Amino acid sequence: MQSQRRARGMRLIDLTDVQLGSSETARRINRDIVLELIRAKQPISRADLSRQSGLQRSTISQIVEQLIGEKWVCEGAVASPPRGRHPTLIELNDDLVVIAVDIHPKEATVAVVDLKGRLLSRSIVPLSSDPAASVRQMTDCMLRMKQDLPRKSIEGIGISLPGRVDPSAQRMIFAPNLRWPDFDLKKVIEKTMGLPVKMENAATACLLSELTFRRIDGIRDIVLVTVSEGVGTGIYANGQLIFGNRGMAGEFGHVSLDPAGIRCSCGRRGCWETFASCRAGLRYYRELRPKATAISFHELLNLAEDGDRYAAEALTKQALYIGRGLQLIIAALSPSVILVAGDITSAWHRFGPAIEKEAAKFTLGGAFPQILPIHEGEIARLRGAAALVFQRLSAHEQQMETNQGLTPSENGQVVG
C-alpha cells in the first residue's frame, strides 16, 4: 500500500567525519545501549535487558560480562519472582567514581561523584591569577580525596570551566573571566594525577548533567543558560550537543546589546553578560546605593528577601536583561525548553516571572519555550563534569560518532 512504502531518495550524510560502520562499532553501540538501560532501569535482570533492548540473551550476557570486567556494573540483589528462577540483578557499580572539578574565577569546587550522580565528598579551593599555583591547590585536594577513599576506583577527572574548550586540542581557547594565560590545564593535571582529564564549558557540562542524570526524555531542543560571574549557554539542538567551529558555539553572553555600553571582560562593549550577570546585578545595586558597603551576590539575594527595595530593584533589572538576552536565543534556536542555572534561581518565585515576561516579548510564531530554573546549579556543574568522564567520550567525540556511517536503527539498536 502507498502509505506503507518506505520513502525513497538520498539521505543527507555529513562526509567530514564519515567512517563505515564496522562490527566493532556495532558492538560498542550495543554495549552503550545496554549500559544506558542499566542506568535507567537498575536493578535489572539479564532477561529484562534482553526483552527491553531486543538483543539476544547470549549477546546481553557477553556485554554484561564485559561491563562487569570494566567495573561499570556489578551483580547485586537476587530477584524473587513468584515462580521460576531467581535471577541476579545488575546495577551500576557504586565503587566507580570520578573526580569532578567546577572552576570559577576565584575558586574551584573539587568533588568525588559516583555513577548515580551522588556527591561523596566536596571541598572548595581558592584560586589566584597564577594558574600553576592554582592547579597545584586543586591537585593537592584531589590527592587528599583519593587517599580518603581507598576502596573506590577513580575513572578519571572531569572539569567544568567558565570558558570554551577546543574539542580536538582539549585546551581552553576563550575564558575571559578566568584571566589565565594560555595554560595546558589538562596536561599538568593528567601528569600529576595519572588519570585522564576531560574538560568542557560549564553551561554545556550543566546541560550534560541534566541530560544524563535527570533524564529529560523526548526533548530534543534545549538551551541551558548559566548566570554567574558571566553568562554562558549550552545548546542541545535536534537531539545533539552543539559545539560549532573550535567549540565556540553558544557565546550569546558576548553578543553586544549596546555598542556604547560598559567594557566587557572580552574587550568589547555592552555584551549581554555585562547587563545580565551577577556582577551586573551587584552593579545595579551600587548605582542605587553608592554608599553601601560591598556585598556578595548571595547577600544581595538575602537583602531582597528581607524586603530591601534597592536590592529587589537591582535584581529585577538583572532579570529583565536575562529575559532580553533569551530573545536572541529563542530567535536563533527556537528551543522547546530553556533551563536557567545560577544563584538567581533560588529566588525564582520573585524574579522568574520578570525573566519570562521580557523573553515573551519575542514571539514570532509557534510555541513559546518553557523557561525553567535548575536549582542546585553548582551540583549540576559538578555532575556534568563527572558525566564527561562517565560517558567515556567528550561530548564532541560523541557528535563525531553520531556522524559515522553506522547509525542506530529506529528502535535504537544496531545488530552487528
Q: Where does this chain touch Zn ion (CB under 5 A) — which range of 141-149, 232-240, 260-268, 312-320?
A: 260-268
First to last CA, the chain: 31
Task: Respond yes or no on whether the N-terminal peptide bond of residue 43 is cis (omega within 30° of 0).
Answer: yes
Exposure string (b/e) for 38-54, b if CB count within 10 Å is 16 or more? bbeeebbbbebbbeebe
Number of Cβ within 10 Å of residue 262's Cβ equals 12
Q: How far is the CB of 266 from Zn ion (least distance, A)?
A: 3
Max distance between CA atoms of the chain, in angstroms, equals 79
280 lines the binding site for Zn ion (CB under 5 A): no
Identify whether the C-beta of residue 301 lies closer than 8 Å to the C-beta of residue 347.
yes
When the beta carbons of 264 and 354 are compared against Zn ion, the nearer one is 264
Task: Report the residue from 186, 198, 254, 381 that binds Zn ion according to the rule CB under 5 A.
Answer: 254
Query: What count of other Cβ atoms lies within 10 Å of the Cβ of residue 258?
Result: 12
Total number of residues that touch Zn ion (CB under 5 A) = 5
Q: Confirm or reject binding of residue 164 to Zn ion (CB under 5 A).
A: no
Q: How far is the CB of 204 from Zn ion (least distance, A)?
A: 18
Give the 3-state secondary structure percentages of the chain, helix then strand then coil, rounded to 5. Answer: 45, 20, 35
Q: Which is nearer to Zn ion, 112 or 225 (CB)?
A: 225
Nearest residue (CB) to Zn ion, 74 versus 255: 255
Pick the stretch among 256-264, 328-336, 359-367, 404-412 that binds Zn ion (CB under 5 A). 256-264
Which of 26, 257, 266, 400 binds Zn ion (CB under 5 A)? It is: 266
Q: Phi, psi at residue 177, to the nearest 5°?
A: -85, -15
Least distance in angstroms from the C-beta of 329 to Zn ion: 16
Stretch that binds Zn ion, among 62-70, 225-233, 263-271, 393-401 (CB under 5 A): 263-271
Using the contact rule CB under 5 A, the part of the chain among 101-109, 128-136, 139-147, 247-255 near Zn ion is 247-255
Would you list the DSSP string of 335-349?
-SEEEEESGGGGGHH
CB of 14 to Zn ion, least distance (A): 31
* H-run or E-run covering 303: helix 297-305
CB of 167 to Zn ion, least distance (A): 22
3-class DSSP assignment, residue 99: strand
Nearer to Zn ion, 237 or 266 (CB): 266
Piece of the chain touching Zn ion by CB under 5 A; list 34-42, 141-149, 188-196, 268-276? 268-276
By CB under 5 A, which span of 109-117, 185-193, 269-277, 398-406 interacts with Zn ion?
269-277
Q: What are phi and psi of 161, to 5 degrees?
A: -125, 150
Using rule CB under 5 A, residue 317 touches Zn ion: no
**Minimum CB–partner distance for residue 101 and Zn ion (Å):** 25
Q: Which residues pair with 88 in a beta bridge?
A: 78
Q: How far is the CB of 271 from Zn ion (least distance, A)?
A: 3
Q: 26: which DSSP letter? A: H
Kindly state whether residue 264 participates in binding Zn ion, applying the rule CB under 5 A: yes
Counted residue by residue, the chain has a size of: 416
Nearest to 162 by CA among 119, 111, 107, 118: 107
For position 271 contacting Zn ion by CB under 5 A, the verdict is yes
What SS3 state is found at 246?
A: helix
Tell me which residue has cell 551586573.
Answer: 280
Rule CB under 5 A: which residues touch Zn ion?
Answer: 254, 264, 266, 268, 271
